[in-house]
Structure 1
Amino acid sequence: MDPLEDVLTLIGVNGHLSASMAAGGRWGLRFNPLDGVKFNALRRGRCLLTVEGLAAPIELATGDCFLLTRPVPFVLASDADTALEPADPVFAAAGPDGVARAGTGDEVALIGGRFSFHQRARALLLDGLPPVIHVPAATAEAGAVHWAIDRIADEVRHTRIGSTLVAEHLAVVMLIQVLRFHLATAATPGSGWLAGLADPVVGPTLRAMHADPAARWTVESLAGAAAVSRSTLAARFRDLIGKAPLDYLTGWRIELAAARIRRGDGTLAAIARDVGYGSESALSVAFKRVTGTSPSRYRSEAS
């Protein structure tokens, strides 16, 4: 399996659509930090996105999309020096049509929402990403994002059989398109798990471990999968992922075990065997070292 598919399946990503928004004239909304990952698509008009911690605002035009990967305050506004009002009351006052309104007129139209993940998702997927991923309208990914948002809005609006499940899957499609755009266009590869996935040395190593996490991997055998020396693999892996290859493997095995424990899928002995540990006690030691709690306690807290 593709490691990105692995991780997106494991972290349980869900999409949540918020009210649409219309704005005109001079307007500005201040948004509080949201748990998870925020997304918006600009259907019509132009506006400025200002994110806490970024040196300059981002100009958004019709068809642009953006993803906020950190729970930080941000502002959407007609211009840089307009007065701001809190966004929450504006969205709480959305009319029967589900549209929140700011300023006067409707020259600007946005639709958006957020992605939520299981608690342990950030280190797996989000660490190493920039605070904002801006997808300009001219890219193929922006078209795919808008297509997915259209379908999500339609499913939520009509609440047909299976609408929630369809909307959640469409949200994953949208997220993958944005991540693809980032990997294809980032000026520098940066660091983190996604950067490693695109790297010619670390990428094959990750794919090998994800294809068979229970195998008796060594640094030498992983280096063979990447066709490099052990020292080259160790240095490159640590530079991008921030840990040694076998430490990453341990963490991934524990993530797989934790997911099965949450689902109640099998005995601890069976889980231990399937993720690469020779015994339940060996899994328990590794599990507590990584998560800070025992498998049995984790199971009771997850139930």
Structure 2
Amino acid sequence: MYAITVREAGGPEALRWTEVADPEPGPGEVLLDVAATAVNRADLLQRKGFYPPPAGTSDVIGLECSGTVAALGEGVTGWQVGDEVCALLAGGGYAEKVVVPAGQLMPVPSGVDLVTAAGLPEVACTVWSNVVRTARLGAGETLLVHGGAGGVGTHAIQLAKALGTTVAVTAGSAERLRQCADLGADITVNYREQRFEDEVKADVILDNMGAKYLPRNVAALNRGGRLVVIGLQGGVTGELNLGQLLSKNASVTATSLRYRPPAEKALITAEVAEHVWPLVTAGAVRPITHQVLPLRDAAEAHRLLEAGGVFGKLVLAVRS
């Protein structure tokens, strides 16, 4: 098969279309013929040498895909060759074939085409596992999403609105904030011009910045608020005012989806298929695709994401 490989850690030019050995499914695994994958910021970090895959998994970049079941490993039940699926991966998505634990497969939501479905697993599982399972966002509460125009952000806006909450977002331009409002965001904050902690008080904050926003996020929490850190774009070491946290009975949690064990990922994907996919089918939560590019053009997709201006997800199709 062909896959996108990294010649050596570096810029987008390090990505190469290369012939590699076909993967083989082991016990409990499924082999997929990949239709498409999608680009995540974690992919940029892995390309630069900062985000290695978990031990024993593919070193090919790619945390999600859609495709067709090509072969079943020993002991796999519930799936058949030819089934159209999407999958949450620990790696390997930028390829024509990928092996995935059977528990991390999900059916393609009704009404979504196979290529578009490639951009759903990572955002849906990230938002569900953090906003719903970890932070317990409930109806009537307020969610603040940093990076509202990104893949995770555009999904979080829609899911939170479907759950009956007020949604606030940060983004860096009036146009991107308008697009977030079109998806349902109630409060929009231009982080270049406004201090979000002066504009919003939230019960749950979904944060992709890490250290840079840590004290400001705590300031923006309501009593009993929950801050969930899922990214470190603003650094890894910050100052935490424990007194302020205690006075609010608030909490800070940091999570990673990629390094969770397969059994935990299987639980998350099962809940997403049960609770989120019906919302997608009903149109309450839509996959937001900025652009579809050929998989061979992964380097260009990385350049686009790094340059900014992408709204939603960049999808890489194996075949045009």
From the two aligned structures, give the one with the greater helix fraction.
1
TM-score, L = length of structure 1? 0.25
TM-score, L = length of structure 2? 0.24
Find the structure with the greater CA-based Rg.
1
